[in-house]
Structure 1
Amino acid sequence: MERKDSMDAIGAVCLTAFALHLAFNQVVIKVTAGGFSPVFAAGFRSAGAVLVLLLWMYLRGVSLRMPRNALPWAVVSGLFFAFEFLCLFIALDLTAVSRASIILYSMPVWLALASSVLLPSEGLTLRKTLGLALAMGGVVLALSDRSSGQASWTGDILALLAAFSWAGIALLVRVTPLADVAPEHQLIGQLAISAPVLLLLAPLFGPFLREVAPIHIAGMAFQIIAIASLGFLAWFWLLKRYPANSVASFSFLSPVAAVIFGWLILDERIAPQVWVALVMVAVGITLINRKPRQRAQVGGPG
């Protein structure tokens, strides 16, 4: 596969489509919760995605063998993955899609903060510091608004914990032997660990089924096939084909689109304060991910 030194039109279209895809999934999770309890839905999604991914790997002739030194870290990554989606699915059951998405997609903020401490080569520049301040201010503003639609302190805090867990996974992939593991193995490890953990925890959160209807089954199938297995593989493909900083620069689109989808599809009422928070987070993420032009032209991951 040819590695690109910069973003091209095909990559921009694919990344825009993927960002919209992820944003729409926030609405799907919210709707699916009408038929399945959140933690059971998260576990069932991981279990179904394992089967889809195993079939995909078999058809592609991809070995399941993972380097021995990476196995413990794969387990840790899977536990982070389980905790992330336990928090996210409950959050979306309790609070509005717009609120949860703004908070969840603040992940690059927490990743940048952790990287500046753990990775000396990635210290905070003035531009990154400004981006962090803007995005963190946006998160605080979103948390402080209690008037816009469905709002829950528990849901908001869980969305924030999901963002922390997501940042933890990204950091593990960079500073542990998982950095040398193929994307398929990273993903199958996360899914295979999270599925039993979430399904074992599910009884603690009430009955598995609510009022199941065809739309809920369709939503679950969408999450299993289009998000948790093939969707995440598409993301890994984009990361391998294009510079990481260019790929990351599109991450601001997901919270923007999620807020708009929540407004259009779920008729969520979005207060002006939430729109301001959204702009602050989106601009902050862009500043954090943006690289100076002369460095971006060198090529390779950022």
Structure 2
Amino acid sequence: MDTRKPLDLPAVSLMLMLCLIWSMQQIALKATAADFSPVLQIALRSGVGALLVVTLMAMRRERLTVAEGVWKVGCLAGALFALEFLLVGEAVRHTSAGHVVVFLYTAPVFAALGLHWKLPNERLAPLQWFGVGLAFVGIAVAFMRGADKGGEFSGVLWGDFLALLGGAAWGSTTVLIRTTRLSSLPATQTLLYQLLTGFALLLPVALLTGHTTFNPTPLVWLSLGFQSLVVSFASFLLWFSLLRRYLASRLGVLSFLTPLFGVALGAWLLAEPIEPGFVTGAVMALCGIVLVSGYGWISTIIKRGDSTSRR
């Protein structure tokens, strides 16, 4: 029996805080890109986050599970994690932070398609398929905004595409975790596999590609501290904690406030333009994603409405 409960005021408050934190990570990367290479920053934040998780596990006397090949799957999840943030790091160099966060949050659509193929109990319902179609139409509309200047494949459009690939990598990570023994590991261990592998892969990539800019300004140190302590460590552990207590479908719907916060904060803090065409496509995509991820919640509302009307 599922003992997780519907959302209450503390859960909604914590989710709003998490959405704000997650939207700010792209803003921080973009704001410091000239002084701190995004890929290098993500590598270092992963390393610091891994150290914090190791410290927490040591305090709990928790050991990392490596038996029966779990470490191989864990490293694969970490490689997908590294790929996701390598794409994000490159994307913020070409497009706005608001665009990156919107395209990155297409991940649930890719995850839903993968789980539909891998798990019989995760088959998509007709309303979810409609949501998938709506999301991809919205993505196409948002991309058309980037290609309206003489039809050229502009730098902004390239950044948008990289962010979309980042969303696909994130969705693939979700499928891998849900369909392997990683799903039974404590959240700290799954997170540690991702952070350690991400650090081990992203740091050499940053060094080999020359993405090593580091000008230690106060803003740079603030960004690294925020990314390491708040994003990579505290926010992810809080998210996993909420998933253990509350219904995932309700939390998932609230998480889609993150792209909205990202666009708004990008316009406010970084003076990023908000193009009407992009907003139209983004709203369509997000509505489609809500239909896919929030199907259980939507179905419950519809059933309640039907039962009420029959009384």
TM-score, normalized by length of structure 2?
0.89
Aligned partner letter, 2:279 = W
Aligned partner letter, 2:29 = I
State the 1:66 CA deviation.
4.2
Q: How does 1:252-291 map to 2 (within 5 A)?
A: 252-290=256-294, 291=296
| Alpha-carbon spacing, 1:27–1:41, altered in 2? closer, same or farther (3 Å) | same
Q: Give the Cα–Cα distance (whole angstroms) in 1 for the partners of residues 27 and 225 of structure 2.
A: 14
Q: Does the 8 A contact of 2:127 with 2:292 survive in 1?
A: yes
The gaps in structure 2 that reach 5 residues or longer are 149-153, 305-311
Q: Give the Cα–Cα distance (whole angstroms) in 2 for the partners of residues 295 and 58 of structure 1.
A: 47
Q: How does 1:231-270 map to 2 (within 5 A)?
A: 231-270=235-274
> Paired residue for 1:300?
none
Q: Give the Cα–Cα distance (whole angstroms) in 2 for the partners of residues 138 and 295 of structure 1.
A: 25
Q: Does the 8 A contact of 2:143 with 2:278 survive in 1?
A: no
RMSD: 2.3
Q: How does 1:187-226 map to 2 (within 5 A)?
A: 187-226=191-230
Q: Give the Cα–Cα distance (whole angstroms) in 2 for the partners of residues 51 and 123 of structure 1.
A: 38
Count of matched residue positions in the alignment of Structure 1 and Structure 2: 296
Using the aligned pairs only, state the percent identity.
29
Q: Does the 8 A contact of 2:65 with 2:71 survive in 1?
A: no
> Paired residue for 1:293?
300
State the 1:251 CA deviation.
2.3
Q: Give the Cα–Cα distance (whole angstroms) in 1 for the partners of residues 54 and 80 of structure 2.
A: 21
> Paired residue for 2:63?
63
Q: Give the Cα–Cα distance (whole angstroms) in 1 for the partners of residues 147 and 18 of structure 2.
A: 31
Q: Give the Cα–Cα distance (whole angstroms) in 1 for the partners of residues 261 and 222 of structure 2.
A: 21
Between 1:61-70 and 1:251-260, the stretch displaced more is 61-70
Q: Give the Cα–Cα distance (whole angstroms) in 2 for the partners of residues 70 and 270 of structure 1.
A: 44
Q: Does the 8 A contact of 1:131 with 1:286 survive in 2?
A: yes
Q: Give the Cα–Cα distance (whole angstroms) in 2 for the partners of residues 263 and 147 of structure 1.
A: 21
Q: Give the Cα–Cα distance (whole angstroms) in 1 for the partners of residues 282 and 270 of structure 2.
A: 18
Q: Give the Cα–Cα distance (whole angstroms) in 1 for the partners of residues 301 and 121 of structure 2.
A: 17
Structure whose alpha-carbon radius of gyration is higher: 2
> Paired residue for 2:170?
166
> Paired residue for 1:176?
180
Residues 164-194 of structure 1, C-alpha deviations (whole Å, 9 max, x = no match): 1101111111111111111100000111111
Residues 222-253 of structure 1, C-alpha deviations (whole Å, 9 max, x = no match): 00000011211111111111121122111211
State the 1:63 CA deviation.
2.8
| Alpha-carbon spacing, 1:50–1:214, altered in 2? closer, same or farther (3 Å) | same
TM-score, normalized by length of structure 1?
0.91
Q: Give the Cα–Cα distance (whole angstroms) in 2 for the partners of residues 182 and 210 of structure 1.
A: 35
| Alpha-carbon spacing, 1:289–1:207, altered in 2? closer, same or farther (3 Å) | closer
